[in-house]
Amino acid sequence: MYGNPESLPVTEGHVTNPILPYGFHKFQCDQLCKEFSQVYGLKTAIIRIFSAYGPGLHRQVIWDVCYKAMTQESVLLKGTGDESRDFIHAADIARALMSVAISSPMNGDIYNLGSGLEVSIQNMANLILANLKNQCSLEFDGIIPEGNPLNWVADISKMKKLGYSPSVQLDALWVKETGGISGHLT
């Protein structure tokens, strides 16, 4: 929805500028929620989920790194590795949705949902490879696919006002489950 944001972190009031049909369709859904709230009094809230990961979420970059590390001799990813995302675990998404359902006025309000932490793709991939104890080489093709934003991090202050705070950090998850390295990613 936000396309390539003009500034970070991205607030809910940031200009929406969908680049591809995927973002445009999300924009249309937002508009429907707002209209049904305003016209019919239907209780709605709009949740803009940033880069989700976790069980059952395939075809995302974290899944891609894990799959390639387990099945190939090298991990080749699109882009330069300097692109960044705001990764949020499925468990935090579930908790956040509950916070919205319980605490939001549900008047077509918009909430960004992420961890509030910007993580480079290269650091994320290196963390995964280190914790898998995999000797794969990590490579980037240098080609940024059209429509992919360069950098993302969500301003989650509106979610925090509802009592939400992320509990699963990408690096802490790996430490807990693998006994691997710790420290925050940048």
Instruction: Note whether residue 174 is domain-resident.
Output: yes
End-to-end CA distance of the chain: 24
Q: How many domains does the chain divide into? A: 1
Instruction: Return the structure tokens found at 4.
Output: 């390539």
Whether 55 is in a domain gets the answer yes
> Which pLDDT tens digits describe the chain residue by residue (186 residues)?
898 898 999 999 999 989 889 889 999 999 999 999 999 999 999 999 999 999 888 878 999 999 999 999 999 999 999 999 999 999 999 999 999 999 999 999 999 999 999 999 999 999 999 988 888 999 999 999 888 889 999 999 999 999 999 999 887 554 444 443 333 333
- Torsional class of 123: left (φ above 0), alpha (ψ -120 to 50), beta (otherwise): alpha
Tell me, what CATH number does 29's domain have? 3.40.50.720
Amino acid at 107: N
Burial class (CB in 10 A: 0-12, 13-18, 19+), 167: exposed
Q: Is the dihedral of CA 10, 41, 44, 107 positive or negative?
A: positive
In angstroms, the CA 20 to CA 18 distance is: 6
d(CA 96, CA 100): 6
Q: Which domain holds residue 111?
A: 21-178
Q: Is residue 104 part of a domain?
A: yes
